[in-house]
């Protein structure tokens, strides 16, 4: 009798256990469906997105199916209320996420497939600047990266007599590989990515533009991509219908191969050409905290027609040009930009209204460094047989800056420079003086950019009235 009672209890316990196992997924499905389909659920998700990105978020519909995953319909990200003018930044038709449940149970980000369809991005640079000011994440500014007061060149300094052959020949030039990425932000926790995650993007377009200066814009249209994130080694590709800048088309029907090497998604160097201008492009992305990425643009030494590239007539021509440019950033922390640029020029000619006295530079170079504080040029110079221009300066992200230039010329051409200075303003003079170097005269000119405008001064004198606007 006792054995029969124990067997009966065991059967009842087993039936209850099976009932719980069968009903738990249905109950979870019902609770999550109720959460996602109510205004309270969509509002909670929207609030988390707003807190993370700093953009107002509206979601029309959320949902999930156990065997298919989660989906989002009609998501719109807009500029925050304290930014003017009001504008939509991101409009997205649908997102579908197929989770990897075994990874989620192990407290890992388990995504088997992520499909994004119909996304339009319209990002004004003024909004990026606004969001960077509001960000509570401290910028990664090293002690030697703070915007310095440009130092004047020594009075005894002479222009460099032997120019570098290319950016690769300049000492201390950073030569990190294209896969180099910035370090993770402070207090970051790297999130591992589940194996064999596949990302698909369809019908995407991105436009970055300026509200204050409408001609400053960069757009890509008809973008589609299919690539892996996770696993050991895999490949994918990205297709772009067209690329425009300043209203003019640069490229059409581009295809880029993408390679996953275990922890980084990389674009191997691709040779491109637009308007007779050749360069190579490579990039890398890592799916960790902050979503860091890096871009490298190399320009081999080549003849350049500025009028053809910029599609406008200019009084400046360049014989040959070469450059190396690198940018590191975070998708989730756009204010943490860093980068460097080094360019070299040969046979640079500046033509003026006086056709008999053009300014000719045999060679030149310019070095720039981008930091969260702003843009710094520690050295730029153009050197010719009869004249040279040396300088340095900085531009902060607040829109203020200083540039100091030294103009060096031969004694025979001093009057020509003074004449051009008077063409700029009747009462203006460069007040050129003899340099220690024989037969060389110089003048140090300082430009100060503030929110009120641009002013000019010579050496330590008081700044002149605004020259712009």
Tell me the pLDDT of the chain (469 aa) as tens digits.
555 556 666 666 666 666 666 666 666 666 666 666 667 777 788 888 888 888 899 988 887 776 677 888 899 999 998 888 889 999 999 999 887 766 666 666 677 888 999 999 999 988 887 887 766 444 333 333 333 344 444 333 444 444 544 555 544 444 444 445 555 454 444 444 445 688 999 999 999 999 988 888 999 999 999 988 877 788 899 999 999 988 788 999 999 999 998 889 999 999 999 888 899 999 999 988 888 999 999 999 999 887 777 777 777 888 999 999 999 998 878 778 899 999 999 998 887 665 557 788 999 999 999 998 889 998 999 999 888 999 999 998 777 899 999 999 998 888 888 888 887 777 778 888 898 888 899 999 888 888 788 888 886 565 555 454 4
In a domain, 399, yes or no: no
Rounded to the nearest angstrom, the gap between the alpha carbon of residue 114 and the centroid of all alpha carbons in its chain is 24
As given in the structure block, the two tokens for residue 365 are 């170079």
Which distant-in-sequence residues (6+ apart) come within 8 Å of 427 by Cβ? none
Of 379, 344, 338, residue with least CA distance to 361: 344
Instruction: Quote the pLDDT of residue 212.
Output: 85
Say what the alpha-carbon torsion angle 380, 385, 386, 388 is, to the nearest 10 degrees.
Answer: 10
Distances (CA, A) of 236 to 101, 233, 247, 288: 24, 11, 30, 19
In a domain, 32, yes or no: yes
Task: List residues bridging with 100 in a β-sheet.
Answer: none
In this structure, how many other beta carbons lie within 10 angstroms of the beta carbon of residue 75?
22
In a domain, 61, yes or no: yes
In a domain, 446, yes or no: no
The whole-angstrom separation of Cα 149 and Cα 392 is: 9
In a domain, 1, yes or no: no
Which distant-in-sequence residues (6+ apart) come within 8 Å of 120 by Cβ? 90, 91, 92, 204, 205
- Single pTM value for the model: 0.74
In a domain, 105, yes or no: yes
Count of domains forming the chain? 1
DSSP 8-class letter at 332? S
In a domain, 235, yes or no: no
Residue 107 belongs to domain spanning: 27-128
In a domain, 81, yes or no: yes
CB of 163 within 8 A of CB of 383? yes
**CA-angle at 265, arms to 263 and 271, nearest 5°:** 145
Distances (CA, A) of 17 to 3, 10, 20, 44, 274: 21, 10, 5, 34, 68
Instruction: Quote the pLDDT of residue 232.
Output: 79
Phi-psi region of 351 (alpha: psi -120 to 50; beta: other; left: phi over 0): beta
The whole-angstrom separation of Cα 46 and Cα 56 is: 8
Q: Is the dihedral of CA 223, 226, 229, 235 positive or negative?
A: negative
């Amino acid at each position: 009798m006792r054995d029969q009672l124990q067997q009966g209890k065991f059967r009842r316990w087993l039936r209850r256990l099976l009932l719980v196992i069968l009903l738990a997924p249905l109950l979870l499905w019902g609770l999550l469906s109720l959460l996602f389909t109510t205004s309270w659920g969509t509002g909670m998700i929207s609030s988390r997105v707003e807190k993370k990105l700093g953009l107002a978020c509206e979601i029309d519909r959320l949902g999930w199916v156990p065997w298919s995953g989660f989906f989002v319909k009609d998501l719109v990200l807009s500029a925050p209320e304290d930014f003017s003018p009001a504008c939509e930044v991101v409009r997205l038709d649908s997102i579908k996420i197929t989770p990897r449940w075994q990874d989620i149970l192990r407290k890992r980000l388990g995504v088997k497939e992520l499909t994004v369809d119909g996304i339009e991005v319209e990002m004004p640079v003024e909004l990026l600047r606004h969001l960077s000011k509001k960000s509570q994440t401290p910028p990664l500014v090293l002690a030697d990266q703070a915007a310095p007061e440009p130092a004047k060149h020594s009075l005894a300094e002479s222009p460099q007599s032997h120019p570098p052959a290319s950016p690769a020949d300049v000492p201390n030039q950073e030569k990190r590989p294209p896969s180099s990425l910035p370090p993770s932000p402070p207090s970051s926790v790297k999130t591992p990515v589940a194996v064999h995650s596949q990302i698909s993007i369809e019908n995407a377009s991105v436009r970055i533009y300026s509200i204050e200066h409408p001609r400053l814009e960069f757009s890509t249209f008809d973008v589609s991509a299919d690539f892996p994130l996770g696993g050991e080694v895999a490949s994918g590709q990205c297709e772009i219908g067209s690329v425009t800048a300043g209203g003019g088309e640069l490229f059409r029907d581009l295809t880029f191969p993408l390679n996953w090497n275990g922890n980084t998604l990389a674009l191997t160097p691709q040779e491109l050409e637009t308007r007779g201008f050749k360069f190579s492009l490579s990039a890398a992305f890592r799916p960790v905290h902050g979503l860091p990425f890096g871009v490298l643009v190399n320009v081999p030494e080549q003849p350049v027609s500025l009028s053809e590239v910029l599609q406008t007539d200019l009084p400046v021509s360049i014989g040959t040009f070469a450059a190396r440019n690198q940018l590191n950033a975070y998708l989730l922390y756009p204010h943490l930009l860093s980068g460097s640029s080094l360019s070299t020029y040969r046979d640079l000619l500046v033509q003026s209204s006086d056709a008999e006295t053009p300014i000719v530079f045999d060679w030149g170079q310019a070095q720039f460094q981008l930091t969260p504080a702003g843009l710094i040029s520690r050295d730029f110079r153009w050197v010719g047989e009869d004249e040279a221009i040396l300088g340095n300066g900085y531009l902060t992200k607040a829109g203020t800056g200083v540039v100091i230039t030294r103009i060096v010329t031969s004694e025979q051409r001093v009057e020509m420079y003074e004449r051009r200075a008077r063409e700029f303003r009747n009462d203006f003079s460069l007040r050129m003086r003899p340099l220690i170097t024989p037969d060389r005269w110089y003048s140090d000119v300082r430009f100060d950019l503030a929110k009120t405008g641009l002013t000019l001064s010579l050496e330590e004198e008081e700044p002149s009235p605004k020259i712009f606007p």
